[in-house]
Amino acid sequence: MSLLEAKEIRKTYKTRFGGASVEALKGVSFTVEKGEYVAIMGESGSGKTTLLNIIAALDRPTEGTVVLDGMELSSVRDSDLARFRRDNLGYVFQDFNLLDTFSLEDNIYLPLVLAGMKAEEMKKRLDDLAAPLGIGDLLKKYPYEVSGGQKQRAAVARALITDPRIILADEPTGALDSKSSDELLDLFAEVNRMGHTILMVTHSTRAASRASRVMFIRDGVVFHQIYRGDATDQQMYQKISDALTLLAQDGDGR
Amino acid sequence: MKAGFYPRMAANGMRKNGRLYAPYLVTCIMMVAVYYIFHFLGYSGIMDGMPGGHTATDMMRMGTYIMTLFGLLFLFYTQAALIRGRKKEFGLYSILGMNRFNLGRILFFETLFTWAAATAGGLIAGIGLSKLAELGFTRLIDVPVRYTFSVPMRSVLMTVLTYSAIFFLICLNSIRQVGFASPIELVTAEKAGEKPPRSNWVLGILGFASLGAGYFIALRIQQPMSALMWFLAAVILIMIGTYLLLIAGSVILCRMLQKNKNYYYRTNHFVSVSSMMYRMKRNGAGLASICILLTMILVMMSSTSSLYTGAEQCLDTRYPNEVGAFACKYGYDESLEDLGEKLDADLKAAAMEHGAKIINNKTFYEWSVSGYFDDSKLDIVLNSKSNLAFVNYDRVAQIIFIDVDVYNRVFGYHETVAPGEALVGTAKNIEIRDEITIGDVPFRVTKRIDDRVGEIDPAAKISACPGIYMIVKDVNEVAKNYIRYKDFDGAPMLAWFWECRFDTGLAPDEQAALADTLNTRINEELQPLDFDNCYCESHEAERGDFVSTFGGLFFLGLLLSLIFLISCVIIMYYKQISEGFEDQSRFDIMQKVGMTKEDIRRSVNSQMRTVFLIPILFACLHLAVVLPIVQKLLMLFGLFDIPRLILCSVVCVLICGMVYSVIYRATSNAYYRIVS
């Protein structure tokens, strides 16, 4: 069975005065297997962030179901949603969402503290993570004292530390310069090799080229998919570029 | 650039930040109003002439100093927090091309508007509240109101001046904060946590020392009225100490809590401790302000409530008998003794005519001189015409000579005294040796009668001027020694006092009527004889006065406490609301990371529990330290009931604690609603 299964997801936004409704998602179905590294691409407004928010249980779909590891998200009660997210999902945000009031270390501990874990156990987990993520020296610093790339690495550590079933990333390189982006993508590849499943939303071809599969979303539906197979990153980049060109032409042709 | 640009910028900025400015403005208005009320009560003279009015006036005058300092400290911190929240905005202006001077002008106009609104609103509120107090008096007490309220220009002027100075300093501080930072520093200022004060330990030790010194002085004060400056110093030291200690202490506390991993990494404490750490200075200042307000409320409430509830006792102390007559004449006159006897006979006859029985009669005369008493020697320099403003109360004493035969007859003793000897007693803490010299006449002290002084003058303990009672042989001969003492105007220093007290067995309203009759009578007889003072009063007639005075004071205490309480509510509300808006986005993130609503609720509660108790505990400590002074002040009003004072204090602490916790809960709910 797949780790994540999205079936016919629809999301309709009503405008405020009950006028015309906007369909952000018009029946998106796909599956993610355990250990996969999936990128979702699409232009802005294509509904990819809406999709990610629904998978992350930050938002409810109008129709359709999301099943994570056999659990149906819609069956989770509202009051348990936060706990569900904390225990099962690791989320990496475009704008990091680190808290200014905490040092990086405490930011990373946050989900564990919320889960009521003991201080020693948390320390052990962080020790295992800090070295591969390259944030060992930064832990005592505060978010406003470090660079964007360092912040995002801390955010990745925060997503990983709960040992989630799936890591969801929303434009993780969006606020980073190219060098930091590359470092972060290397990190994601490394994390994926360690066995974590990653679902990433991006519109950067460079970021998507590191994934094992790329899904294209346009106008609220899954339009196209590319599997890496044995291709190198460079070949993958080419494939994606071609697909995007095709997509753009096709779109214009309509 | 068009004229009026900066004022408009300033007004817009304030309007857009209305959520933060509105409570700040209300706070300013309250502080100004409180200052006005204190100044008004202290300097307008409306409390003159009521029992203990002098004490109350002095307290109010002291209150104006305290309110000045408190207003400065308090508004400084509130405003600093306000500017902090707006630094981003100023950073943006500065990136858009405003220089220091331009920003300074905006800040100047903002402060100017705040000043104008605060002083105008504060004065209106202050005047309104004093009118309210007037209404309250008339409603609460059915006796004629003895205070009339007006609007003295002096108080208005002083209020405006004081707050102009305070706002000037505030303006300078805000210009310092904004003007000397680079645009980028300003833009990112909101993100960076407060840095701990550089010399935190020094600050802590300084606060500790200041508080300790304040406590020390407060506990050592024996005579609060004569040591008013010391008392003021103690209060100011305690206030400054509270601020420093709580600012430094909250940083230290946060550090300690953060170091304790098992405490810190708990769902409940994690968020609260870190956000306390994030704004530690502001937190400490806020707590200190709350603490000082609570202390003021507690002191006012416990003192005025014990006076109010103990009014009857004060009345009994001051007027031990149902009816009392009193006469006083300066200078020596052979005929006075006979006059006293005639007066006595006349009054008693008039009383019998009224149907009164003469019970517990105490009628006697005494000679008196006053001056500075040092080393068992009295230097006769004072009489009732002395300018008491320049008197050092610590050294003053009044000597009262009573003839031993009169003493034995009236009070039922069998004492014998030889010439040159005296029985000596005092209700105050005065050191008297075996020989006491009055003027240049020495007396050998053969016996101390300290515990019998209350029989002669029940108010001996109350009077601001300590009395020394000397029972001597042939009092008129003794008095002759002092005929030659005169003041600058040639008026004699020696005074003759005549006193007559008795119970009547009459109904209360008849007692009052009798006193009226006797008062007319004694005035008729003595006015032609050029007496300095004479009157007749009754326990019953004075009751109304006492009740209205103490009721008035109690009402005043309630009113001021209410104002302080409202200030307290505003601080807490302001603290919670402004923090709530700051924390909103943080809790948003935390919810994304997996914080549940319960977690938020619990962490809010944890923060509440950590900081809730600190101000009230400190306030109780302060109260305990100043309670002895309060007790001594109450003695001047005639209240000696220490258990009553303690009981009233405890009740006030309980009520205050309850109200405080309700407010805290309500404001933390407001915080919770914002963040969740």
**What gap in Å lies between CA B633 and CA B233, rounded to an integer?**
17
- For B447, the token pair is 């016996």
> What sign does the dihedral A133-A138-A139-A141 (CA atoms) show?
negative
**Which residues does B184 contact at the CB level (< 8 Å), separation at least 6?**
B91
**What gap in Å lies between CA B167 and CA B148, rounded to an integer?**
32
Could B193 and A101 be called an inter-chain contact, meaning their C-beta atoms sit closer than 8 Å?
Answer: yes
**Could you give the angle at the alpha carbon of B223 between the alpha carbons of B40 and B238, nearest 5°?**
65
Could A114 and B267 be called an inter-chain contact, meaning their C-beta atoms sit closer than 8 Å?
Answer: yes
Contact A209, A237 (CB under 8 A): yes
Could B595 and A82 be called an inter-chain contact, meaning their C-beta atoms sit closer than 8 Å?
Answer: yes
Residue A82 at interface with chain B, using a CB cutoff of 8 Å = yes
B65 Rama class: left (phi>0) / alpha (psi -120 to 50) / beta: alpha
**What gap in Å lies between CA B579 and CA B603, rounded to an integer?**
14
Could A144 and B265 be called an inter-chain contact, meaning their C-beta atoms sit closer than 8 Å?
Answer: no
Which chain A residues are within 8 Å of B193, Cβ to Cβ?
Answer: 100-101, 142
pLDDT of residue B392: 65
A134–chain B nearest CA distance, Å? 22
- DSSP annotation of B538: E
Residue A142 at interface with chain B, using a CB cutoff of 8 Å = yes
Scan for tokens 């002098």, then name that residue: B54
CA B580 to chain centre: 35
Chain B residues within 8 angstroms (CB to CB) of chain A:
188, 191-193, 261-262, 264-267, 270-271, 274-275, 277-278, 586, 589-599
Beta-bridged to residue B329, according to DSSP, are: B496
- Give B472-530 as a DSSP string: ESSHHHHHHTTTT-B-TTS-BS-EEEEEEEEE----HHHHHHHHHHHHHHHHHHHGGGT
Residue A90 at interface with chain B, using a CB cutoff of 8 Å = no
**What gap in Å lies between CA A188 and CA A179, rounded to an integer?**
14
Q: Choose the closest CB to B594 out of A86, A99, A102.
A: A86
**Which residues does B553 contact at the CB level (< 8 Å), separation at least 6?**
B56, B304, B307, B308
Beta strand A63-68 with A71-72 is antiparallel
Distances (CA, A) of B224 to A112, B234, B630: 59, 11, 9
Which chain B residues are within 8 Å of A102, Cβ to Cβ?
Answer: 274
Q: Choose the closest CB to A116 out of B267, B586, B598.
A: B267
pLDDT of residue B637: 77
Could B592 and A93 be called an inter-chain contact, meaning their C-beta atoms sit closer than 8 Å?
Answer: yes
B365 Rama class: left (phi>0) / alpha (psi -120 to 50) / beta: beta
Q: Choose the closest CB to A82 out of B261, B274, B596.
A: B596
Contact B427, B403 (CB under 8 A): no
Among candidate residues B70, B24, B573, B76, the one with its CA nearest the CA of residue B282 = B76
A162–chain B nearest CA distance, Å? 11
Could A100 and B277 be called an inter-chain contact, meaning their C-beta atoms sit closer than 8 Å?
Answer: no
Of residues A240 and B144, more confidently modeled = A240
Contact B317, B459 (CB under 8 A): yes
**What gap in Å lies between CA B114 and CA B167, rounded to an integer?**
8
Contact B514, B538 (CB under 8 A): yes
Mutate to test the interface with B, among A49, A99, A109 (most CBs of B within 10 A): A99
- Give B219-273 as a DSSP string: HH-S-TTTTHHHHHHHHHHHHHHHHHHHHHHHHHHHHHHHH-HHHHTSHHHHHHH
pLDDT of residue A175: 81
Summarised one tens digit per residue, pLDDT across range A28-69 is 899 999 999 999 998 777 788 888 888 888 888 888 999 988
Residue A91 at interface with chain B, using a CB cutoff of 8 Å = yes
Could A82 and B599 be called an inter-chain contact, meaning their C-beta atoms sit closer than 8 Å?
Answer: yes
3-state helix, strand, coil in chain B (%, to 5): 65, 10, 20
- DSSP annotation of B386: S
**Which residues does B592 contact at the CB level (< 8 Å), separation at least 6?**
A58, A85, A91, A93, A97
**How many other C-beta atoms can be found within 10 angstroms of the C-beta atom of residue A78?**
9
A59–chain B nearest CA distance, Å? 11
Summarised one tens digit per residue, pLDDT across range A167-205 is 999 888 888 888 888 888 998 998 899 889 999 998 889
Three-state SS string over chain A comes to CCCEEEEEEEEEEECCCCCCEEEEEEEEEEEECCCCEEEEECCCCCCHHHHHHHHCCCCCCCEEEEEECCEEHHHCCHHHHHHHHHHHEEEECCCCCCCCCCCHHHHHHHHHHHCCCCHHHHHHHHHHHHHHHCCCCCCCCCHHHCCHHHHHHHHHHHHHCCCCCEEEEECCCCCCCHHHHHHHHHHHHHHHHCCCCEEEEECCHHHHCCCCEEEEEECCEEEEEEECCCCCHHHHHHHHHHHHHHHHHHHHHC
| Closest chain B CA to residue A79 | B596
Q: Which contacts qualify for B51-59: CB closer than 8 Å, 24 or more apart? A: B51/B314, B51/B318, B51/B545, B51/B546, B51/B549, B51/B637, B51/B638, B52/B549, B52/B636, B52/B637, B52/B638, B53/B549, B54/B225, B54/B464, B55/B225, B55/B633, B55/B636, B55/B637, B56/B553, B58/B225, B58/B228, B59/B633
Among candidate residues B479, B315, B348, B333, the one with its CA nearest the CA of residue B406 = B479
Indicate the pTM of the whole model.
Answer: 0.77
pLDDT by 10-residue block (mean), chain B, 676 residues: 77 83 86 89 71 73 89 85 80 82 87 93 89 65 52 89 94 84 72 65 89 90 72 90 89 84 84 80 84 92 89 80 85 82 84 82 88 83 60 76 89 88 85 86 89 80 78 88 82 86 83 84 81 82 75 82 83 78 82 81 79 86 90 79 90 92 85 83
**Which residues does B120 contact at the CB level (< 8 Å), separation at least 6?**
none
Contact A49, A220 (CB under 8 A): no
Which chain A residues are within 8 Å of B275, Cβ to Cβ?
Answer: 101
**What gap in Å lies between CA B382 and CA B444, rounded to an integer?**
24
A-B interface: how many C-beta pairs under 8 angstroms?
Answer: 83
> What sign does the dihedral B24-B29-B32-B34 (CA atoms) show?
negative
- For B244, the token pair is 């420093």
B272–chain A nearest CA distance, Å? 10
Q: Choose the closest CB to B594 out of A82, A93, A97.
A: A82
- For A101, the token pair is 């009031």
> What sign does the dihedral A216-A219-A221-A224 (CA atoms) show?
negative
pLDDT of residue B587: 85
| Closest chain A CA to residue B262 | A119
**What gap in Å lies between CA B536 and CA B529, rounded to an integer?**
17
A141–chain B nearest CA distance, Å? 11
Could B594 and A58 be called an inter-chain contact, meaning their C-beta atoms sit closer than 8 Å?
Answer: no
pLDDT of residue A253: 42
A116–chain B nearest CA distance, Å? 6
B255–chain A nearest CA distance, Å? 13
Q: Which H or E run includes B380?
A: strand B377-382
- DSSP annotation of B448: E
Contact B439, B369 (CB under 8 A): yes
Could A93 and B261 be called an inter-chain contact, meaning their C-beta atoms sit closer than 8 Å?
Answer: no
**What gap in Å lies between CA B231 and CA B393, rounded to an integer?**
14
Q: Choose the closest CB to A144 out of B188, B590, B599.
A: B188
A82–chain B nearest CA distance, Å? 4
A103–chain B nearest CA distance, Å? 9
Confidence tier at A254 by pLDDT (50, 70, 90): very low
**How many other C-beta atoms can be found within 10 angstroms of the C-beta atom of residue B635?**
19
Query: Which amino acid, one-letter code, is at B152?
Result: P
Which chain B residues are within 8 Å of A117, Cβ to Cβ?
Answer: 265
Residue A116 at interface with chain B, using a CB cutoff of 8 Å = yes
Summarised one tens digit per residue, pLDDT across range A88-127 is 888 888 888 888 888 899 899 988 888 888 888 888 889 8
Could B594 and A111 be called an inter-chain contact, meaning their C-beta atoms sit closer than 8 Å?
Answer: yes
Q: Which H or E run includes B362?
A: strand B359-374
